[in-house]
């Protein structure tokens, strides 16, 4: 697939994305930017929420993870995702709507105080800026190999172009543009997966029934792991990890919740969460079925690439029609740039509302402040992407994903304590607890094999981190004083 074919594909997608952004951002104000004016139809938000958690990393990594003996064990975690969505829908969302929040971290201010509010916002800020940057970094790497490199352009130009695109389509529209482009992303992603499966199965000489049988009978089709509690794919580890990962990284993430808070009311928000949670299961299952086909195609044609490199290697193989490469490009670009745009919007919202503050400011002052923050967030994200390029790929990506267990743990712990305990705490000491919990979690993880008979922490480190935060908050309880609200 030539660089010019990739450019044409990307430009066609961006033309559609900009058209949607322009239409959705007409007559937009600060409320429209931050929460869509609370007018978004629930079914539109549900479609957007299907693809919202999926980035370019998901697009290439989920199919690649089918190999290596794990099969489709990821579906165990996906089942937990749905339970997590139910908790968000029936526990968190009513609270956020009742308090009429722009940023979900305003809850921490109302419940504990300003120090807790800013602590939650800063932990979100650190996690999201790094997470969003690494997701866009991966698509920049792919575009460098497919477009910018063959044209002789340096990586810095790649970063400037990509961040410029994300900035332009979110600058005016905010969350309204994000919801519509997320819906476009979901459609493009599903169409890309389905058509890629059709072309690959045809190459392997299989119709739909034969493809389904081949996937079912392959070594890649195992879903449930109940036989060994020490196995990393053991069902209850994966299931519980899925439940709490969604609660922490969707229900307590401004980026994810900004979409659902754009619904008209809590009832509509609940409907979009349950619907998107249900529909995510077959979509992710499609990803895994595609992964099985990719591995079978690679085995049949001597392709040695594995993991994250498998899908790009197969999609651009001369053994397949060039349209498969086009489909891969559309899916990757739609996932990556939509995720980057939503993260940029959420960062702007949280930094403006939570960290700087909008109380006492006029509509015009908030608008001017929000635009400056939006530009600053785009610049900071671009710098982070370029730093990942200078430092290398794999080790940085691993470090950033591990960081999520540390940064979301204190947020989860503060919300759990706030919702389950009516006692007030000494707010000024909350930042100390929020920093101490991940430090102690790191010490436990580093020494777990020696201290706990060979035990290694994995996803459950998030729960340990949250538990330590709750324990620390218990030590800060003010006796005889109930919660402010």
pLDDT, tens digit, 9 for 90 and up, residues 395-437: 444 555 567 778 888 999 999 999 888 889 999 999 999 999 9
Does residue 461 sit within a domain?
A: no
User: What residues contact 66, with CB distance under 8 A and at least 6 apart?
Assistant: 72, 220, 288, 291, 292, 294, 295
**In the predicted model, what is the mean pLDDT of residues 39-64?**
69
Residues 76, 225 contacting (CB under 8 angstroms): yes
pLDDT, position 94: 87
Q: Is residue 160 part of a domain?
A: yes
Q: Residue 360: pLDDT above 80? A: no
Q: Indicate whether 64 pLDDT > 90.
A: no
Q: Within the chain, what is the greatest distance between any pair of CA atoms?
A: 73
| b/e per residue 133-143 (b: at least 16 CB within 10 A) | bbbbbbbbbbb
Question: Highest-confidence range of 212-221, 230-239, 257-266, by mean pLDDT?
Answer: 212-221
- Predicted TM-score of the model (pTM): 0.74
Q: Is 159:381 a contact under the CB 8 Å cutoff?
A: no
Tokens at 352, concatenated: 């403006």
Mean per-residue pLDDT, 364-378: 84
Per the CB < 8 A criterion, the answer to whether 87 and 243 are in contact is yes
In a domain, 464, yes or no: no
**What is the tally of structural domains in the chain?**
1
Is the pLDDT assigned to residue 454 strictly greater than 90?
A: no
**What's 231's DSSP letter?**
S
Q: Is residue 266 part of a domain?
A: yes
Asked if pLDDT for residue 485 goes beyond 90, the answer is no
DSSP string spanning 233-295? T-HHHHHHHHHHHHIIIIIT-HHHHHHHTTBSSHHHHHHHHHHHHHHHHHHHHHHHHHHHHHH
The CA-to-CA distance between both ends of the chain, in Å, stands at 59
Predicted local distance difference test score (pLDDT) of residue 392: 62
Q: What is the pLDDT of residue 30?
A: 47
Average pLDDT, the chain: 80
37: region left, alpha or beta (phi > 0 left; psi from -120 to 50 alpha): left
Return the DSSP state at 393.
S
Count CA atoms within 13 Å of residue 351 on its CB side: 21
Task: Pull the structure tokens for residue 382.
Answer: 């671009």
As given in the structure block, the two tokens for residue 116 are 């807790």
Instruction: Name which residue leads in pLDDT, 335 or 415.
Output: 415
pLDDT at site 178:
65
Domain assignment of residue 356, given as a range:
3-420
- 455 in a domain, yes or no? no
Say if 436 falls within a structural domain.
no
Cβ count near 354 (within 10 Å): 26
Q: What is the CATH number of the domain that holds 84?
A: 1.20.1730.10
Query: How far is residue 136's CA from residue 341's CA, in Å, rounded to a whole number?
Result: 10
pLDDT per position as a tens digit, 168-192: 766 654 455 667 767 777 787 888 8
> Cα(191)–Cα(187) distance, rounded to whole angstroms?
6
Task: Measure the CA–CA gap between 135 and 55, rounded to whole angstroms.
Answer: 7
If pLDDT is split at 50, 70 and 90, which confidence band does 288 have?
A: very high
Least confident of 43-57, 153-167, 269-283, 310-324: 43-57
Note whether residue 478 is domain-resident. Answer: no
Mean pLDDT of 238-245: 86
E-state strands within 72-181:
none
User: Is residue 240 in some structural domain?
Assistant: yes
Long-range contacts of 392-399 (CB under 8 A, 24+ apart): 393/137, 393/141, 396/134, 397/134, 397/138
Across 55-64, average pLDDT: 72
pLDDT confidence bin for 289, thresholds 50/70/90: very high
Q: Give me the pLDDT at residue 293, please.
A: 92
């Amino acid at each position: 697939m030539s660089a010019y074919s990739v450019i044409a594909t990307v430009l066609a997608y961006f033309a559609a994305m900009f058209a949607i952004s322009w239409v959705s951002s007409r007559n937009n104000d600060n409320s429209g930017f931050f929460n869509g004016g609370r007018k978004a139809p629930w079914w539109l938000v549900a479609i957007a929420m299907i693809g919202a958690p999926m980035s370019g990393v998901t697009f290439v990594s989920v199919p690649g993870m089918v190999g290596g003996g794990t099969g489709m064990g990821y579906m165990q975690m996906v089942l937990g995702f749905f339970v997590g969505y139910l908790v968000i829908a029936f526990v968190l969302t009513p609270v956020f709507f009742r308090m009429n929040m722009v940023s979900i971290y305003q809850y921490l201010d109302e419940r504990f105080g300003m120090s807790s509010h800013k602590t939650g916002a800063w932990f979100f800020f650190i996690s999201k800026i790094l997470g969003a940057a690494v997701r866009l970094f991966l698509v920049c790497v792919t575009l460098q190999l497919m477009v910018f490199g063959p044209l002789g352009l340096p990586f810095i130009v790649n970063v400037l172009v990509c961040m410029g695109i994300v900035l332009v389509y979110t600058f005016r529209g905010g969350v309204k543009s994000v919801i519509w482009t997320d819906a476009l992303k979901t459609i493009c992603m599903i169409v890309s997966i389905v058509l890629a499966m059709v072309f690959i199965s045809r190459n392997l000489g299989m119709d739909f029934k034969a493809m389904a049988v081949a996937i079912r009978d392959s070594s890649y089709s195992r879903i449930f792991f109940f036989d060994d509690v020490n196995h990393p794919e053991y069902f209850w580890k994966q299931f519980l990890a899925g439940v709490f990962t969604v609660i922490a990284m969707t229900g307590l993430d401004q980026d994810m919740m900004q979409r659902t808070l754009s619904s008209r009311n809590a009832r509509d928000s609940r409907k979009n969460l349950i619907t998107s949670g249900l529909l995510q299961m077959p979509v992710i299952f499609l990803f895994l079925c595609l992964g099985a086909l990719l591995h079978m195609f690679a085995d049949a044609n001597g392709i040695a690439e594995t993991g994250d490199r498998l899908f790009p290697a197969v999609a651009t193989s001369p053994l397949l029609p060039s349209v498969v490469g086009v489909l891969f490009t559309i899916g990757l670009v739609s996932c990556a740039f939509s995720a980057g745009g939503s993260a940029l919007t959420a960062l702007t919202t949280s930094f403006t509302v939570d960290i700087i503050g909008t109380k006492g400011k006029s509509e015009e002052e908030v608008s001017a402040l929000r635009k400056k923050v939006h530009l600053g967030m785009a610049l900071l994200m671009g710098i982070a992407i370029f730093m990942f390029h200078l430092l290398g790929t794999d080790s940085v990506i691993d470090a950033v994903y591990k960081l999520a267990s540390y940064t979301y743990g204190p947020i989860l712990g503060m919300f759990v304590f706030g919702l389950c305990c009516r006692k007030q705490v000494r707010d000024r000491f909350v930042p100390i607890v929020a920093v101490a919990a991940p430090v102690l979690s790191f010490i436990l993880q580093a020494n777990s094999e020696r201290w706990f008979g060979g035990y290694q922490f994995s996803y459950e480190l998030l729960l340990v981190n949250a538990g330590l935060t709750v324990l620390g908050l218990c030590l800060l309880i003010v006796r005889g004083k109930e919660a402010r609200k």
